[in-house]
Amino acid sequence: MRPARALISVSDKTNIVEFAKELSRLGIEIISTGGTAKLLKGAGIPVREISELTGFPEIMEGRVKTLHPKVHGGILARRDKDEHLRAMKELEIEPIDLLVINLYPFKETVAKGADLEEIIENIDIGGPTMVRAAAKNYKFVAIVTDPADYDRVLKELKETGEISLKTRFYLARKAFNLTAHYDALIADYLYSIDEEGKPLACRELRSPLTVTFEKVQDLRYGENPHQRGAFYREVFVKEPCVTRARKLHGEKELSFNNIYDLDGALNLVLEFEPETEGVACAIIKHANPCGVALGKTPQEAYEKALKVDPISAFGGIIAFNAKVTKEAAELITERFYECIIAPEYDEEALEVLKRKKNLRVLTTDGLTGIEKRGADSPFDYRRVVGGLLVQDRDLVTVDPEKLKVVTDREPTEKEWKDLLFAFKVVKWVKSNSVVYAKDGVAVAIGVGQTSRVDSARCAAEKAQMVGIDLNGSVLASEAFFPFRDSVDEAAKVGVTAIIQPGGSIRDKEVIEAANEHGMAMVFTGIRHFRH
């Protein structure tokens, strides 16, 4: 396909002047609109205004300018059908062989916090219509939507005088991907607000569900070396998260497993408010915490977290909810870790961490947006073969005022603190799970067993192996106890209080067991399964 005529209309004007100059030198006539036409004319490029082609002016403040049969007939006409060619001749429709289009900056307009009226005006209508028309007719028309493709198109035109079918099909796929992404962004934004533009507290689980993500990077591989992998992010998210984090150091790119573990580690420590609850440190290994602790300083929190399971911590991921200090950094660099993520770092801490060539150091640039947790990214997506499970993100926290003490004895003040701490931690442990806690440290963590009593036993046995005394600790379970056996196991190692959702048909039996052992037991009414 040798183009004779190109229509150029772009919001992103990156390299467009240089591209248009080359097209003009190749003898391709250029038609353009509005600001693009003005820019190209100013650069000395011969340009024909769109109104000259259509015989109709741009109207309604530019809302209507390319929605015209002389534009779309020129794009959609099949050059291999006599009927189409006769219609073009009779109606004096000129063929348009090459389109260079990108769309109004809807995403950028939302991101800058514009009002609803401005956002609506930045929903492109004519652009996507032309893009889709050209992509549909890719056998005869080329559609360029990405400045990164200018060089490829020019190379072919200069070498062969044509744009190959292979390239036209490549461009068409990108074009439809662009319009699908663009429309999904618009739908997602509109479903996040009411008719007055005010944010909705709860998003609708709509049908059909359209979701769209932008690629951050290709990964070396997926969960395993034989699986391909890539990292994508939602577009409008403003809360502190791994997708918005900046890498400050580390030669290697983040892996699939690194990113997944970073997400879990960061979300865990963000459960704790540094100003009121203390500095939180979490060490994650294979999607589960192997050490979590609160401290007055990052150094103290890290030391406490590490003591819980120093063997498993090797090669793990570390997260903090507060600025990392030099003292903490020096301790961290004594061992091998894959990554560390925190809101910020002291300059001296960063210098120390950079001594580790392969340690990836990430920052969320503070905790700005923490109050928006869940507002811009409200759903959790789980892929199954042939389908998708969608649910609200589990951002519920317990209200201490609504907790129910169900035993004869109430928890002491110290037990209350540890119970609330433990229940926040167990939320981020794979089910079935339990967490033993003592003095703001998750001293034993039972992960992912098929029975809850096994989780309790495994955690206790591991604590004993590393010399941790569980006497005087509390126990949190992310779901109810179906039998009293877990309570009996907890009593053997000295647990004095338990927090759990409640709701089992054997709650009475479980409560009686707690009373027999002199334990306090609290029901939350909230379950935190994590699969």
Task: Indicate the burial class of 457 (C-beta count within 10 angstroms; 0-12, 13-18, 19 or more).
Answer: buried
Give the C-alpha distances (Å, rounded to integers) separating 45 from 8, 71, 386.
Answer: 12, 21, 51
Our answer to whether residue 136 is catalytic in this structure is yes
Structure-block tokens of residue 510: 């479980």
Q: State the pairing for strand pair 288-295/279-285.
A: antiparallel
Instruction: Please enumerate in sequence order all residues whose Cβ is within 8 A of that of 82, keeping only pairs 6 or more positions apart, or say none.
Output: none
For 128, phi and psi rounded to 5 degrees?
-60, -35
Please report, for residues 7, 310, 317, 396, the alpha-carbon distance to residue 260 in angstroms, rounded to integers and kept in the order given.
44, 21, 10, 21
d(C-alpha 82, C-alpha 351), whole Å = 72
286 is known as an active-site residue: yes
Which candidate in 21, 41, 136, 238 is catalytic? Answer: 136
- How many other C-beta atoms can be found within 10 angstroms of the C-beta atom of residue 291? 27
Specify whether the CB–CB gap between 518 and 412 falls below 8 A: no
Report d(CA 8, CA 50) in Å as an integer: 10
Which whole-number Å values give the CA distances from 380 to 210, 391, 393, 448, in the listed order? Answer: 14, 5, 5, 20
379-384/474-477 β-pairing: unpaired
Task: Give the SS3 label for residue 387.
Answer: strand
Return the structure tokens found at 164: 């190959």
Kindly name the residue from 13, 286, 323, 417 that is annotated as catalytic.
286
Distance CA 364, CA 432 (A): 31
Give the C-alpha distances (Å, rounded to integers) separating 281 from 266, 302, 304, 388, 495. 9, 6, 9, 33, 23
Catalytic positions are 136, 286
